[in-house]
Amino acid sequence: MAEDRRIRKTRRALRDALVELVLEKGFTALSVEDITQRADVARATFYSHFRDKDELFARVTRDLLDELDERLRPAVAESAVGFTGKPVLQMLAHARAERDLYRIVLRGEGDGKPLRMFTEACARVAAAEFRGRSERNAVEPRIDAGLLARAWVGEQVAVLQWWVEHEVEPMPAEEVVRMLLDLALRGRYWATGFDRPA
C-alpha cells in the first residue's frame, strides 16, 4: 500500500512537471532531465516508469481520458433519450479543473498524438451513444453515426480549446452548453439567424 502511494506520488510529480514545462517551453524543447529535475525525481526512477517523455505524455493523456469517462458516464446515462447538454457541462467542469493539461493536449503538443488520442476516444464514445440512442428510440439515423460523432466532437474540441485558452472564462459553461444544445437541436442555419432554408 505504501509502495502504491509512492508510485502515485512519483507519477503525479512527473505529470505536474510535464504540464508546467510544456506550457513554459513546449514539448519539443523538453528533455527527460528537465522533467526529472522539476519533479525532483531521479532519472532511474523515471525510466522505471516510462520509456521516454512521449510515453509519459501518452500515460497522462490516458489518465485524463479515464477521469473524463468516469465523470461523463452518469451524465450520458441521463441523456439516453435526447440531448440534455449535461455531458458537455461535465466536460467543461473537468476542463476547468484540469485547465493546463487540457491546454497542452488541445494545442497539439507532442506531435499532436495526445490530441488525436483525445479526439478518437471522444468520437468512439459519441458514436456508440448516437447508435444506442437511435436503437433505444427506434429511429433510423440520417447521417452515419461515425461521421456524426466526428463532426460533433470536432465542434466540442474547437470550443473547448477556445474556452480553456482564455485566462478568464470567455463565457460561463452553462451559456456555452445552452448554445451548443441549440446548435445541436436546431442546426447551423437557424444559429446564423435564418428561419428556414430557401
> How confident is the model over 137-161, as pLDDT tens digits?
889 989 999 999 999 999 999 999 9
Of 2-6, 115-119, 167-171, the range with the lowest mean pLDDT is 2-6
* One domain for residues 86 and 46: no
Whether residue 64 is found in the same domain as residue 45: no
Contact of 48 with 55, CB cutoff 8 Å: no
The predicted-structure confidence for 37-77, as pLDDT tens digits, reads as follows 999 999 999 999 999 999 999 999 999 999 999 998 888 77
**Residue 197 falls inside a structural domain:** no
Q: Is the pTM of this model over 0.85?
A: yes
Average pLDDT for the chain = 91
Q: Nearest 10 degrees: CA dihedral of 153, 156, 161, 162? A: 150
- What is the number of structural domains in the chain? 2
Is the domain of 80 the same as that of 14?
no
User: Which structural domain, as residue segments, surrounds residue 119?
Assistant: 57-191
Q: What does each C-alpha distance from 52 to 47, 110, 147, 178 come to in angstroms?
A: 7, 12, 34, 42
Residue 154 lies in a domain: yes
**CATH label of the domain that carries residue 131:** 1.10.357.10
Asked if residue 79 has pLDDT above 70, the reply is no
Mean pLDDT of 94-116: 96
Q: SS3 of 91, please?
A: helix
- Is the predicted pLDDT of residue 78 greater than 80, yes or no? no
Whole-angstrom Cα distance, residue 174 to residue 180?
10
DSSP-derived letter for residue 197 is -
Residues 44, 62 within the same domain: no
Closest CA to 89 of 78, 80, 100: 78
Q: Report the distance separating Cα 74 and Cα 90, nearest Å.
A: 10
Whether 184 maps to a domain, the answer reads yes
